[in-house]
Structure formats: C-alpha cells, structure tokens
C-alpha cells in the first residue's frame, strides 16, 4: 500500500504512470478548463493539470478529473485505488471490499501538528484580502448558476457541542469574492449539523478544504454512518493518522497538507439562491433553490496552490467511480450485517448511479435454505431502502455471479436475458425521492415519494454460456490459445 499524504505526491505518481495531461498553454477560466476536463472524462484521457490560468497569479493551478477512470486500459480504477492507498491495478470489487472492511475496524484518530509544520498555512489572507477572486474558480457548465467553488473539496463542520465532526463534499457556488452558497440537504450529515446551529440561533463555523490528501477527498464523498468521523476512517484506510492543524480563525482542525483552506461562518437562514448545476445524472441543471450563505473570512494556502475540480455530467466522472463505489460499499456492508451471503455489490458507471447490482454466490440457496429468489429480492429491498444512501438508487438487480458486473457488455447481456418482462420483481411504493435521480415524474419530486424496485434475475438452474470459456472442451481451448496468432 502507498498512502499519498498530499495532492502533489498523488499527481506525481499519476504522472509517472502516464496518466497526467499537462496543459501548459494559458486557459480561460470561463468554461475552457471545465470543457477540457469533461472531454477527458468522456474519452478516458489522462487527467488534465492546468499550469497557466488567465486572470490569476502565476503558479496557481487547476487539476481536473482526480478520480475519474484512468487512461490506462489495464487499470481503469487506478485513480480511485491510488487515492485510497491501494495498488493501481485494483479492481472495482477489490476497492469496494476495502471500503467495506474499513467500516468494521477501529478508527485511527488524526494527529495535530503545529502551524509551522502545516503547508496549508504558508500564506494567510484575512479580512478584505481573503477574497475568492484571487483563485481560479471555473464555470463548470454553461447553464450553471455561477462559478462553482467546490466540486471536489471537503467541507468541515461540527455540532455545537463538538461531539460530531463531519467531512463531506457538497456543491458550493461562488456568489462574489466574499460569499458562497451550497446545496444543503436536511437529511445529509452536513444538513443535520447545520440544523443544530440553526436551532441554537448561531452561524455555523465551516472550513472548505481544497486539495487535501486524495484519501480525504474520497472519504468525504462516500457514505459512512452518522456520527462517525471521516478523519478516523481515513486513518484506517491509510494505516496511519491524518495530520491536521488548527484553523487560523476557527475552532476546527483542517488537513495540514491541503492546498487551500477557506474559513468562515454559515448563515442560519436560506438567504441565497443556489444553482442550477449540471449533475451526475448527465443533464444540465434547471432551476435554483434558496440555500444558506457561506461567508468568507480567512483563506490560507500553500505556495503555488492547486485547485482540484470534478466536472460532473454524463458518465464517467468522479460521481460514477468513487461515489458509486462508496454507495455500493455501503449497500454491501448493510446486506452482510443482515446476514445475507452477498458476494459483492456494484454500480455500473454507465448507469449514472441509477442501478445497483447485488451479486449472489452460486451456493446462496445452500446458505439460505427454504428461501426463494423472490423472497430474497424482497428482503434485499427491505434492508437497502431503509438506508439513507439508497435514496439515490431507484433500481436494484439481484444477479448471479457467473459474469463480470464491471463489464457493461456482460451486464447488458445478463439483464436483457434474465429480467422477466412481467414479473419476478419486488416493488416498494412511496419511498423517499429526491431530485438528483433523473427517472421520476415531477409530481413524485414534489411529493418526495415514488417507487423503487428490486429485480430478481437469479437463475433456478445454472445455464452454461455459449462462449469461448464455457462452450468448448478444455483441450480444444488450450490448442486454440497455443496457436493463436500474435498479430
């Protein structure tokens, strides 16, 4: 395992693999870096590092697609795996197993270092000098409500009593040099904590951290149980404590090796319009909503800072790799805790986080005697749809293990040939619906309720595949392979 303690060492490691695209010409922050990043995601090219950005001081850089699919065909999940300290060739299911396993291990709390040892505080801006206008904050899509100051950074907040510290990713839109606004969903952890400050009648302190250690960004973007500390969980994944430093103006600890830290307070009312924004479902956003204001009071940053960004849209980007893996790991953890013998769970990137595959081992019937596949599908839905993270998933498929769930061609074949046209599904009516999944009707978004479904595609009899691997005797296959042309 190799844990990258800061974003720079991670970028250098990707560069060594040939997975960094150096953009050395000057780029216009109005759309150009975002458009390059979006195309890099869609054609699976190296991650772009923008070394000259128009309108900001020399040395300030942008970094796109930090956890999208890599450009290396043999290791498509290298960016996610390396972010988490895993080998670059790790498979998707291996990453999910690591995320799930860490949930059951003791957390490793962070360790505080002195300010002099914290690169994130090499430069300190206070008062009017602490302006977002100094930084290369891009427009992500041409229909967005503004420049988005956060798409891959970590928001750090804690409850008024200090007992729960939350590190999370939420989209944050720049209003002007001294104000931002963020999509704060009441049911999400940051929304719950903000609600406690609202009840107290005091603005919530926050720190917005750009470019911490990649593992921190990843953990901030996946579900873990409420009241669990992401810093401790990150330490477990890394095998060592995360180094933090006390924020300059707040009673919050922030990652010491971060590139940029924005400090301030959040209003207690939804007094600013946020959005629209092009989201992971693959469509440009429509409409805006009233959200709290994030007031900017202090900014600290490293010399020659790097601002990372995730430009969400049609697959594949960070929301379809890291976030999907985090949701799948969450589902796998809860299903196993319910004593269901699940082999793995997987969300295909190309489903835009709308499908979850629950993969059952070949001997699941022996492990669950007297349980039909229909009953199993019902039980899986009962477990999953009670969890907060599954609010994003409208459709679940329970599948056999006789194919590769990470191979979309095989997924399409299995679903096309094993989903019964009229039956073998468990429908769960009146489930919680939010606007991020794209498949519901307007009345369901307004009501906040809609159906979810679990399809039972399990075979009663294991059918052999008409394929090279299963359709021919072993001796024939070996002879074919031994005589296969090299070119």
The 3-state DSSP composition of the chain as helix, strand, coil percent (nearest 5) reads 30, 25, 45
- How many other β-carbons are positioned within 10 Å of the β-carbon of residue 269? 11
Which of 243, 279, 318, 349 does the annotation list as catalytic? 279
Which candidate, 198, 173, 378, places its Cα nearest to that of 294?
173
DSSP 8-state code for residue 347 = -
Residue position matching structure tokens 């839905």 = 381
Q: How far apart are CA 89 and CA 192, in angstroms?
A: 37
Kindly give, in sequence order, each residue whose CB lies less than 8 Å from that of residue 32, ignoring residues fewer than 6 positions away.
Answer: none
DSSP 221-283: TS---TT--HHHHHHHHHTSPPEEEE-SSSS-EEETT-SEEEEEEE-SS--EEE-----TTSS
CA dist 304 → 8, 128, 235, 285 (Å): 11, 21, 27, 33
Residue position matching structure tokens 């008024």 = 160
- How many other β-carbons are positioned within 10 Å of the β-carbon of residue 422? 5
Which candidate, 315, 318, 321, 365, places its Cα nearest to that of 340?
365
E strand segments, 114-236: 123-126, 148-150, 154-158, 165-168, 172-176, 179-182, 204-210
Q: How far apart are CA 184 and CA 274, in angstroms?
A: 10
E strand segments, 302-406: 306-309, 344-346, 355-360, 395-400
Q: Are 109 and 232 in contact (CB under 8 A)?
A: yes
Residue position matching structure tokens 């010409």 = 25
Kindly give, in sequence order, each residue whose CB lies less than 8 Å from that of residue 265, ignoring residues fewer than 6 positions away.
Answer: 203, 204, 205, 206, 294, 295, 297
Q: Active-site residue 441, yes or no?
A: no
Active-site positions read 279
């Amino acid at each position: 395992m190799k844990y990258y303690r800061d974003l720079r060492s991670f970028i250098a490691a990707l560069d060594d693999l040939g997975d960094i695209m150096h953009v050395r010409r000057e780029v216009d922050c109005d759309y150009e870096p975002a458009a390059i990043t979006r195309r890099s995601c869609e054609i699976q090219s190296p991650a772009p590092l923008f070394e000259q950005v128009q309108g900001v001081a020399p040395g300030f850089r942008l970094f796109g697609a930090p956890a999208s699919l890599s450009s290396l065909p043999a290791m498509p999940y290298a960016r996610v795996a390396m972010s988490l300290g895993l080998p670059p060739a790790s498979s998707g299911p291996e990453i999910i197993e690591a995320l799930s396993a860490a949930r059951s291990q003791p957390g490793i709390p962070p360790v505080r270092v002195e300010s002099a040892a914290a690169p994130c505080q090499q430069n300190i801006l206070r008062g009017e000098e602490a302006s977002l206008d100094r930084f290369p904050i891009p427009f992500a899509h041409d229909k967005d409500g503004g420049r988005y100051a956060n798409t891959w950074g970590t928001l750090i907040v804690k409850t008024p009593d200090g007992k729960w510290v939350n590190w999370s990713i939420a989209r944050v839109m720049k209003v002007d040099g001294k104000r931002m606004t963020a999509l704060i969903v009441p049911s999400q952890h940051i929304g719950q904590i903000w609600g406690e400050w609202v009840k107290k009648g005091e603005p919530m302190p926050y720190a917005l951290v750009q470019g911490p250690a990649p593992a921190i960004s990843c953990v901030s973007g996946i579900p873990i149980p409420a009241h669990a500390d992401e810093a401790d969980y990150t330490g477990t994944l890394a095998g060592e404590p995360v180094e933090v430093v006390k924020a300059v103006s707040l009673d919050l600890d922030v990652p010491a090796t971060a590139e940029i830290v924005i400090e301030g307070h959040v209003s207690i009312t939804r007094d600013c319009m946020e959005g629209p924004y092009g989201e992971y479902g693959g469509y440009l956003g429509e409409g805006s909503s009233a959200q709290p204001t994030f007031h900017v009071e202090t900014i600290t940053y490293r010399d020659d800072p790097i601002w990372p960004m995730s430009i969400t849209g049609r697959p594949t980007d960070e929301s379809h790799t890291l976030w999907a893996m985090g949701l799948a790991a969450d589902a796998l953890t809860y299903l196993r805790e319910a004593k269901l013998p699940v082999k793995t769970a997987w969300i295909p990137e190309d489903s835009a986080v709308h499908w979850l595959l629950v993969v059952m081992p070949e001997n699941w019937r022996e492990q669950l005697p007297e349980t039909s596949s229909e009953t199993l599908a019902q039980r899986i839905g009962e477990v999953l749809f009670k969890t907060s993270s599954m609010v994003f998933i409208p459709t679940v498929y329970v599948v056999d293990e006789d194919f590769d769930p990470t191979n979309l061609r095989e997924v399409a074949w299995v679903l096309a040939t094993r989903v019964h046209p009229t039956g073998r599904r468990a429908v769960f009516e009146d489930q919680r619906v939010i606007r991020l999944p794209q498949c519901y009707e307007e009345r369901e978004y307004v009501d906040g309720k809609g159906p979810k479904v679990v399809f039972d595609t399990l075979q009663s009899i294991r059918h052999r595949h008409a394929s090279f691997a299963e359709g021919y005797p072993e001796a024939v296959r070996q002879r074919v392979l031994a005589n296969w042309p090299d070119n």
